[in-house]
Amino acid sequence: MGKVEITFLGGAREVGRAAYWVRDEKASILLDYGVNFDEEDNPVFPEYVPPKDVGAIVLSHAHLDHSGALPLLYTAIKRPVYMTKVTKELIEILIQDFLKLSGYYVPYGHTEMKEMLDSVRLMDYRRPVEMPEAGGTVLTFYDAGHIPGSAMVKLELPSGIKLLYTGDVRKSETQLLRGADLEGLEADILLIEGTYGNLDHPDRKDVEALFVSDVREVVEEGGTILVPAFSVGRGQEILSVIEDHGLDVPVALDGMVKGVTELVLQGENKRFLKNPDLLEKAYEKAYVVKGWRDRRKVWRRPGVIIASAGMLRGGPSLYYARKIQEINKDAIFLVSFQAPGTPGRRLVQEGKIDEGGPTVQARVEWFDFSSHGGVSELLDIIKSVKGLQKVIVVHSEEKTAESFAQRIREETGLDVIVPERGSTLKIEL
Mapped onto helix, strand or coil, the DSSP state of residue 299 is coil
CB of 235 to Zn ion, least distance (A): 14
Torsion of CA 104, 231, 78, 75, to 10 degrees: 0
For the CB of residue 203, give the shortest distance to Zn ion in the complex, in Å.
Answer: 22
Q: Which of residues 91-130 bind Zn ion (CB under 5 A)?
A: none
- The rounded distance, in Å, linking the Cα atoms of 108 and 113 is 8
- Phi and psi for 27 in degrees, rounded to 5? -120, 145
Site string for Zn ion, 5-44 (x = CB under 5 A): ----------------------------------------
DSSP letter at 247 equals -
How many other C-beta atoms are found inside a 10 Å radius of the C-beta of residue 126? 12
If one counts every other C-beta atom within 10 angstroms of the C-beta of residue 161, the result is 22
Q: Which window, 73-81, 89-97, 168-176, 406-414, contacts Zn ion (CB under 5 A)?
A: 168-176
Q: What stretches of 4-84 show up as alpha helix (H) in DSSP?
A: 64-67
d(CA 11, CA 20): 8
Q: Which is nearer to Zn ion, 27 or 311 (CB)?
A: 311
**Cβ distance to Zn ion smaller for residue 195 or 403:** 195
Q: Whole-number minimum distance, CB 38 to Zn ion, in Å?
A: 16
**Window of 167-175, 294-302, 339-347, 401-409 that interacts with Zn ion by CB under 5 A:** 167-175
**In whole angstroms, what is the distance from residue 329 CA to residue 266 CA?**
37
Q: Rule CB under 5 A: is residue 170 a binding residue for Zn ion?
A: no
Judged by CB under 5 A, the number of residues near Zn ion is 3
Residue 18 CB, nearest approach to Zn ion (Å): 6
Task: Give the nearest distance from C-beta 148 to Zn ion in angstroms.
Answer: 11
Q: Whole-number minimum distance, CB 290 to Zn ion, in Å?
A: 29
Helix, coil or strand: residue 70: helix
CA 280 → CA 208, 261, 264, 285, distances in Å? 19, 9, 10, 9
DSSP 186: B
* Closest CB 66 distance from Zn ion, rounded Å: 6
Q: Which of residues 252-271 bind Zn ion (CB under 5 A)?
A: none
Closest CB to Zn ion among residues 167, 316? 167
Q: Does 168 bind Zn ion (CB under 5 A)?
A: yes
- 40-69 residues in contact with Zn ion (CB under 5 A) are 63, 65
Q: Contact region for Zn ion (CB under 5 A) — 40-48, 128-136, 160-168, 355-363?
A: 160-168
List the one residue out of 126, 232, 228 whose CA is nearest residue 180: 126
Find, among 172, 193, 176, 201, the residue nearest to 337 by Cα: 201
Enumerate binding residues for Zn ion (CB under 5 A): 63, 65, 168
